[in-house]
Structure 1
Amino acid sequence: MIKNLMLILGLLTVCFACKTPEARKPISKSTKSYTSSSLKMNQAILEKEENKIQKIIASDTTNTYITSNSGFWYYYKVKKENDSITPKFGDEVEFNYNLLSLEGDTIYSRKEIGERAYLIDQEEIFTGLRKGLKLMKEGETVTFLFPSHHAYGYYGDNDKIGSHVPLKSTVTLNEIKIKN
């Protein structure tokens, strides 16, 4: 009798111990209302920044601004008409740049940043500068106006650039080393 009872207890233990794990419910989940309010807030920030940039462009009668396909604006200080080579994926570029607020206050000077070497699309650099470098030819100097989502966005750079700060940057592309 005791053997049978032990056998039944053993079988019951084996049956209930081999239960498959159940997925736990998430502690919190995003709701449609949070997502839509976040979307509306970001759209309002973008609209405000773009309006500010458009006012700058309208008041600057000396330069001809070009709108990029990516959603930032730029004009040439030095343009190379006869050259057609722009950097492509994997090419190394050497360049200098500065970062200013849209009001023209210096955030990082060329001297602070120094000359940079960058492998196109293979290293971390903020979105606007990455896309802007691909538009340039060797020896050109271009001034860019970046909305914050093309600059350092929501997080900033954890130093001098805060959250949602649109930037102005003058970039000189010194050299393109074509990848073989």
Structure 2
Amino acid sequence: MVAQISCKQNSQAHPPVGGVLSQNDLSVSRERMKNLNTLERNQIQQWIGGQTEKFYPTKLNYWVNIEDYDKREKRQDNSLISYQYDLYDFDQIKIYEQPIERKEVKLGHFDELKAVEDALRYIRDGEVVTLLVPSSLAYGTYGDEKKIDNDVPLIIKLKAL
């Protein structure tokens, strides 16, 4: 079993959306996120080293299991796409029983995980890709308020329908 990748150290309470932070609080928060991102990237790279499947870094700071993925032709804003994905932790335990599915959505006009929206621009119809995503591109500081805690990196298996 692989140790779960997450960081609970240096946790700081964040104000609610719309709350006010001082300059010092903003600096502390920025530094915390920078350190967390560095830690998660190192942990993900270490996890990749123990896999037989190859993963490649993307320009947006996540990994994908297809070489030169972000050099493919890119889908433009307003392109319609249907897709689904499953979420896993780094112990490869599926988080939700049913996949998250969206039908006929326009790229650039929906709220989605940053890594998923970026990957959808390069995925081919019918293709399944695996994304390794740091928490900052997943559910970040707040989690999904259901099963995914704050600061949890994810494995996402994404399929264009």
Band the TM-score falls in, shorter-chain normalisation: 0.7 to 0.9
Tell me how far apart the structure 2 counterparts of residues 117 and 103 of structure 1 sit (CA, whole Å): 32
Mapped pair 1:41 → 2:32: yes
* Unaligned residue ranges in structure 1 (runs of 5+): 1-28, 175-180
Tell me how far apart the structure 1 counterparts of residues 48 and 59 of structure 2 sit (CA, whole Å): 17
Identity value in percent: 24
Q: Which of 158, 161, 164 does residue 151 from structure 2 map onto?
A: 164
* Alignment map for 1:1-180 (pairs within 5 Å): 30-60=21-51, 62-76=52-66, 86-109=74-97, 111-114=98-101, 116-174=103-161
Tell me how far apart the structure 2 counterparts of residues 124 and 51 of structure 1 sit (CA, whole Å): 28
Instruction: Give the ranges of 4+ consecutive aligned residues of structure 1 lying more than 6 Å apart after TM superposition.
Output: none
Tell me how far apart the structure 1 counterparts of residues 110 and 26 of structure 2 sit (CA, whole Å): 31
Kept after mapping to 2: 8 A contact 1:87/1:137: no
| Higher alpha-carbon Rg | 1
Kept after mapping to 1: 8 A contact 2:140/2:151: yes
Secondary structure of 2:124's aligned partner: coil
CA apart distance, 1:116? 4.0
Secondary structure of 2:119's aligned partner: helix
Give the structure with the higher percent helix: 1
Kept after mapping to 2: 8 A contact 1:86/1:138: no
- Aligned pair count? 140
For residues 75-99 of structure 1, the C-alpha deviation after alignment (integer angstroms, 9 at most, x for no partner) is 03xx9xxxx6542210111112101
RMSD: 2.4
Secondary structure of 2:65's aligned partner: strand
CA apart distance, 1:139? 2.1
